[in-house]
Amino acid sequence: LNKTTVALFPNPAGNSLTIATNAAAGSKVVFVNLLGQAVKTIAITSKEQRVDVSDLKNGVYVYELLNREGVRENSGRIVINK
């Protein structure tokens, strides 16, 4: 069984970060704050893409990689520190 991988870097990130994943197009990465609220969603369009996160406040976020059906395939934590 092939595991879908995702990496966000740098960590901690400032105003932008890179998402590297082997997920299929149509997948998405959702940023969730520590209150459990989804605060940003990024559509996966390539194996490696640069993302503007300047709208996120400083803090710790959980990121979840969801496939096209909305099933969580991977997750992790990212720190935003500008």
**Three state DSSP letters for the chain:** CCCCCEEEECCCECCEEEEEECCCCCCEEEEECCCCCEEEEEECCCCEEEEECCCCCCEEEEEEEECCCCCEEEEEEEEECC
Which pTM does this prediction carry? 0.94
The answer to whether residue 74 scores a pLDDT higher than 70 is yes
- Model confidence over 30-48: pLDDT tens digits? 999 999 999 999 999 999 9
